[in-house]
Chains A and B, each alone.
Chain A
C-alpha cells in the first residue's frame, strides 16, 4: 500500500514537471489527454463497472461545454457562475436521461442512450437561434481562479492535472467503496443482487448520474481549452471515441481509460496530421480491439503473446 502510494506520488511529480521540458504544442496535447481521460473514466463507471454500454456519453461533455459557453456569450456571466450552473444543469439532464435509458437494459439501453444523445445533437446542430448551429460558439475565455492566468498553457496544464487527479481519485474511491462493490455486483449478477435486497435500478441510476457529473467536468475543461464549441462534439463519433478509449484501455479497470485516452488522443493528433482518414482508422481500431482484445490493451497483449508464443498465462 505504502509502495503504491509512493508510485502515485512519483508519477504525479513527473507529470507536474513535464511542461517545463516541452513546447506549447505538447503541453496542450497533455491537457487534451487529461480531459479525454476524465471523460473516459466517467464513461468507464457505466461501461466497465456497471456493464451498461452507453453510446451517448458525449452528451454530458457537450452539454456542460455548451451551457458554459452559452451563458458567457449570451449573458456575459463570469466563470464563477457558469461553471457550477453548467455542472448542475448537465448532471440534472443526466439524471433525467438516466431515468429514461434505465427503463431498459442491455442493447435497448445502448440504443436509448444513442437516441437521447441525438436529441441534444439535434438542438446543437439544428436549433440555430439557440446554439448558433453549425457555426458553433466562439470568442470564449478561460477562467482565472485565484488570479492565476489560465491562458498560459503551462498553467492550464497544471490546472487540468489538479482536476484530473481529484476526479480520478474520487472515481477510484467510488469504485472501491461498498457502493462500487454493489455496482460490480449488479453488472455480474443483477438477479442475485436483486434477490439479496439491493435496489439494482437505483444503483445503476446513481452511477449514471455520477458518470454524467464527471462527464460535465471534462466538458468544462474542454471548453476552457478550446474556447470554441461545435456540435460535432456531441455527435455519435464523439461518443464512440470515448467508448473506444474505455474498451481499448480496458473497461472496468482504473488505468484502462487513461491508457486508452493516451492512445486515442495521440493517434488522432498525429494521424490526422498526415491523412484525412481518421474515421477509417477509428473504425479499424474498434474492430481490432473488439475482435482481438475484448478485455483491452493490457490484458489483450498478454493474451496475444500467449496465443502466439505460448508460455505461462
Chain B
C-alpha cells in the first residue's frame, strides 16, 4: 500500500513539473507557431541558476525567483533578437531554436562542468510527513502545490485579464487579432518570456527531484513534446491533463518495468495520434 501511495504522489509531482515545463511550450506553440526546441535548455538553465544561487547561501525561494527572472529574460532575448529576424519562416525558427539548444547545452557544460549539481530542498521540507498512517515525501507535496498554484495563476491570467484575452485572440486567429489592433509584436515577446519563465520555475522546483546535470535538457524536451502532442497543440487544458497522464505512466513505468519505462512513455502519444491526430483536447491541426 505504501508503495502505491508514494508512487502516486511521485506521479502527481512529476505531472505538476511537466505542466510547468509544457504549458510554456504549448503557449508559445499556440500563439507563435514555433516549436521551441530550447525549452528543455531553458528548464536546465533554470535548474543550474537555482543551484548556483543556493550555493551562494540563499533560500530556494530566492533561487526560484532569480531563475525565473534570468530564464524569462533569456527567453525575451531569444525571441527579440533571433526568432524575430526569422518571422514568417516557421521552419527556420525551429531550426534556430535547435541550434540554440546545442549552444546552450555546451555553454552550461562550460560554466557548470560535467558533474551533476545537487539541489537540496529546504531543511524543513526534507523530513517525511506522517499522515493517516502513511509516510509522504514532503517535498513532492510542495512541488504539486506549487504547480497547482502556477496552473491556477496561468488560468486566471488567460481567462480573466486583458493580456490573456489578447493571447487567446492571437491563438485563435492571428491575422484577425492584428487587424483589431492587438500589438502582436509585444505579445510575442511577453508570451515567449512567460513560457521561458515557467520552464525556469519548473527547473528550480524540479531541482531537488532531478538535480542539475548535463543532458537534463535532452531528457526534458521529449517529455514536453509528448505532453503537448498528447494533449493537443495549443490547448492548455490538454497540456494539464496530459502532464499528469505522462507523470503517472513514467513514474509507474520506472517502478514496475524499468527497462521499458522510456518506451511505454510514448505509447499514449502514438495511440492518440493514430486515432485523433489533433490530440486529446486540441482543436487545431498544425
Q: Is B225 engaged at the interface, CB distance under 8 Å to the other chain?
A: yes
Contacting pair A240 B92 (CB below 8 A): no
Contacting pair A237 B262 (CB below 8 A): no
Partner of B96, one of A126, A235, A240, A290: A290
Partner of A247, one of B95, B109, B261: B95
Q: Is B228 engaged at the interface, CB distance under 8 Å to the other chain?
A: yes
Among B90, B95, B105, B273, find the residue whose CB has the most chain A CB atoms closer than 10 A: B95
Give the interface residue-count category, chain A: 35 or more
Complex CA–CA separation, A256 to B109 (angstroms) = 32
Report how many A-B pairs have Cβ atoms within 8 Å: 126
Among A55, A115, A279, A284, find the residue whose CB has the most chain B CB atoms closer than 10 A: A115
Q: Is B159 engaged at the interface, CB distance under 8 Å to the other chain?
A: no
Contacting pair B218 A236 (CB below 8 A): yes
Given A107-B29, A107-B35: A114 and B222 interface contact (C-beta under 8 Å): yes
Q: For residue A206, give the distance in angstroms from its CB to the closest CB of chain B.
A: 19
Complex CA–CA separation, A123 to B29 (angstroms) = 29
User: Which B253-286 residues have C-beta < 8 A from chain A?
Assistant: 259-263, 265-266, 269-270, 273-274, 277, 285-286
Complex CA–CA separation, A247 to B95 (angstroms) = 10
For A284, the chain B residues whose CB sits under 8 A away are 99, 103
Contacting pair A283 B100 (CB below 8 A): yes
Q: Is B135 engaged at the interface, CB distance under 8 Å to the other chain?
A: no
Residue in chain B with minimal CB distance to A96: B270
Q: Is A128 engaged at the interface, CB distance under 8 Å to the other chain?
A: yes
Complex CA–CA separation, A107 to B228 (angstroms) = 12
Map CB proximity to B onto A173-207 as digits: 1 under 8 Å, 0 otherwise: 00000000000000000000000000000000000
Q: Is A132 engaged at the interface, CB distance under 8 Å to the other chain?
A: no
Partner of A118, one of B34, B85, B222, B233: B222
Binding site for B on A (CB under 8 A): 53, 55, 100, 103-108, 110-112, 114-116, 118-119, 122-123, 125-130, 235-237, 240, 243, 247, 277, 279-280, 282-287, 290-291, 294
Q: Can you report 5 A-B residue pairs in the complex whose CB atoms are below 8 A from each other?
A: A115-B225, A118-B262, A280-B107, A283-B102, A286-B95
